[in-house]
Structure 1
Amino acid sequence: MSASLRLETLSPGAAPLAALDALLAAAEHTDGQPAFNDQTRLETRAGTNHVVLGFEGDRLVAAAAVADDTLELVVAPDARRRGLGEQLADHVLTSRTGPLLVRVLEPFVGALPAPTLAWAHGDHPAARRLAARHGFEPVRRLLQLRMPLGGEVDAEVGADAKATASTTGVSISTFRPGLDDAAWVALNARVFAGHPEQGKLTESDLHARMAEPWFDPDDFLVARGDDGAMIGYNWLKVEQPEADGSRIGEIYVIGVDSAHSGQGLGRALMVRGLNRLKERGCTTAALYVEEDNGPAVPLYRSLGFTDHTVDVQYAKKS
């Protein structure tokens, strides 16, 4: 067991943000995926979630973030297997947590509960042990699928007889910042009405993502009906090239209005998106999908996507 961590709560705009970014980058380089999801990163920069930092001396070696009752945790790759994750999890799961505003009001509303949900990005044995120790059990599995990008993707790959029949009268163009914002948020909310995270995105959340360095409106494909209304979309996220020249392009989020589902529009948007990623120099396409998403998983596999890794959400046993 290592020496005890020195724990600090991150204040909005505080200097340790740069150190936290470096810690997250190191973990992502080792693990092949981010330890905090995009929403958590954006909320951390805005100071609207609760972040606890763990230091050994002056070095940041661990961090935990809590928002909307959900915990994410990261430990520096070269500081693992020394009990640091256990120390940090023990603290967060037994102490005050929550958004800054709520913590300010805590003396008036009573003690805040510990988070009852947690994400493990990658089905790591250490995460399983931590979850079991604190009485958490797996409740969701989020697959990350990948496929190599070679030549042009053919719309008929893996298609059935009706794969492209519905695209008559549908145009696919790009997102228009300032004009399409409200329409996209409304459509996204309808498409993901039952999704605990994606369906809650607001225009503020959209704008925060549009302010990110990776955002390019030409990578945000929008399907419109013959009346010009938005009926589907495929938002792409293109990462910076790796040192070896490889480049990952992500199907960030894709959705089709229920009135147009089952007619091949989702496949058409996927094909257009994959070819766009190829044009952008991406060598690999990636996407995340709920394991139990019956319509989507077979579509992605028919296009050539295969399993890469899995994120597991844990919930506190009742």
Structure 2
Amino acid sequence: MTMRQPVRAADRLSASEVDDVLALAAAAAEVDGVYPLSEDVVLRVRAGVPSPGRHLLSYAGDRLAGYAFLAAADPDDAEGPAGELAVHPHFRRQGHGTALLAAAGTGPMRFWAHGDDPGAAVFAERNGFARARVLWQMRRSLLKPLPDVPLPDGVTVRVFNPDSDEQRWLDVNARAFAHHPEQGRWTLDDLRTREAEPWFDPAGFLLAVDVADTLLGFHWTKVHPAAGDDPAIGEIYVLGVDPAGHRHGLGAALSVAGLRHLADAGLTVSNLYVDESNAGAVALYRRLGFEIYKTDVSYQRS
């Protein structure tokens, strides 16, 4: 068996390391049926610049066998930093996952497992982590009729303008997701990184405004290209309403407006991600015809 090397930590990855990490993730996805890294981590991997966090790389000889990303710690967050971890299928059960967790350090932290895999649950429990949070991916057909949900009086919808709406959107996003451990902390760099992605389309970034053009809420959609047996999918990427200026029914109206945009663009399937514990959002999406498709689990060590 190839000797396992000490885990290496880095705040940036070289071009070859980026390729190795993405190849490892693709190999894991092929075997497991679910991609092991979130969009946020993939963007940090590909950025090639110092990241607010640590990349951890475990090697078997000169081959990358395991990878983890641990976000920078927030001193105000008692749950500790969040991370993600993946081991290449060829190198599993050889200690790479345990070595990556050891390199991540001691104390409170969270790691996401994409897909509710029993093996991940056993690995987490063995290393002192308990199931703490569940994220559902829900889907619905866009070939089924959408309900008619009118906008509240005095509210209209327009598209996002990167030249004038960035900071206003960040402010509303922070208020709408004040208690969300990831979404509510987006920075201007986070927003602009996504604006630079090939999939970004302002026409699918809908803003609800009043007569004074005050931003009241938003529905940002994203289109995933067809892959394998999966058709192109239109995602409810981020949907939020400003709690400071909430209008009754605005969330449902924005949901339908974005779904109509996706259907008019020729998409036949839509998906979204929502916390299992967010009863209000789950109820809204079920009313709109969404059903659970996949489950991601966050394991926490206290």
Q: Is the 8 A contact 1:172 1:224 kept in 2?
A: yes
Aligned residue in 1 for 2:147: 154
Aligned-residue offset at 1:182:
0.2
Q: Is the 8 A contact 2:56 2:68 kept in 1?
A: yes
Alignment partners' CA distance in 1, 2:33 and 2:214: 38
Alignment partners' CA distance in 2, 1:19 and 1:281: 35
Alignment partners' CA distance in 2, 1:148 and 1:170: 28
Q: Identify if the C-alpha distance between structure 1 residues 26 and 215 changes in structure 2 by more than 3 Å, giving closer, same or farther.
A: farther
TM-score normalised to the size of structure 1? 0.83
Aligned residue in 1 for 2:96: 88
Which secondary structure state, in structure 1, belongs to the residue aligned with residue 124 of structure 2? helix
Describe the superposition over 1:76-105 as per-residue Cα deviations: whole angstroms up to 9, x where unpaired: 3x427x404xx223222323x4xxxxxxxx
Unaligned runs of 5+ in 2: 73-80
TM-score normalised to the size of structure 2? 0.87
Q: Is the 8 A contact 2:66 2:97 kept in 1?
A: no
Q: Is the 8 A contact 1:141 1:290 kept in 2?
A: yes
Alignment partners' CA distance in 2, 1:286 and 1:245: 12
Q: Is the 8 A contact 1:223 1:230 kept in 2?
A: yes
User: Which residues in structure 2 correspond to 1:282-297 (within 5 Å)?
Assistant: 282-297=267-282
Aligned residue in 2 for 1:79: 90
User: Which residues in structure 2 correspond to 1:90-129 (within 5 Å)?
Assistant: 90-95=98-103, 97=104, 113=106, 116-129=109-122
Q: Identify if the C-alpha distance between structure 1 residues 209 and 137 changes in structure 2 by more than 3 Å, giving closer, same or farther.
A: same
Aligned-residue offset at 1:56:
3.9
Alignment partners' CA distance in 2, 1:253 and 1:47: 26
Which secondary structure state, in structure 2, belongs to the residue aligned with residue 93 of structure 1? helix
User: Which residues in structure 2 correspond to 1:1-318 (within 5 Å)?
Assistant: 3-6=2-5, 7-10=7-10, 12-14=12-14, 15-44=16-45, 45=47, 46-48=49-51, 49-68=53-72, 69-76=81-88, 78-79=89-90, 82-84=92-94, 87-95=95-103, 97=104, 113=106, 116-155=109-148, 164=150, 167-244=152-229, 246-261=231-246, 263-317=248-302
Aligned-residue offset at 1:147:
1.1
Task: Indicate the RMSD between aligned Cα atoms, in angstroms.
Answer: 2.3
Q: Give the residue type in structure 2 aligned to 1:185.
A: L
Q: Identify if the C-alpha distance between structure 1 residues 279 and 207 changes in structure 2 by more than 3 Å, giving closer, same or farther.
A: same
Aligned-residue offset at 1:143:
1.2
Alignment partners' CA distance in 1, 2:90 and 2:265: 36
Q: Give the residue type in structure 2 aligned to 1:5.
A: R
Alignment partners' CA distance in 2, 1:119 and 1:236: 24
Describe the superposition over 1:217-259 as per-residue Cα deviations: whole angstroms up to 9, x where unpaired: 1111111112101110011111112244711121111001114
- Out of 307-316 and 50-59, give the one that drifted further: 50-59
Which secondary structure state, in structure 2, belongs to the residue aligned with residue 5 of structure 1? coil
Give the aligned length.
289
Alignment partners' CA distance in 1, 2:30 and 2:223: 16
Alignment partners' CA distance in 1, 2:180 and 2:124: 23
Aligned-residue offset at 1:30:
5.0
Describe the superposition over 1:175-197 as per-residue Cα deviations: whole angstroms up to 9, x where unpaired: 10121000000000000111111
Aligned-residue offset at 1:47:
3.1
Q: Is the 8 A contact 1:54 1:60 kept in 2?
A: yes
Alignment partners' CA distance in 1, 2:27 and 2:200: 22
Aligned-residue offset at 1:50:
1.4
Q: Is the 8 A contact 1:70 1:115 kept in 2?
A: no
Q: Percent identity?
A: 38
Describe the superposition over 1:12-60 as per-residue Cα deviations: whole angstroms up to 9, x where unpaired: 2402101222322343455454322222222333331212223445443
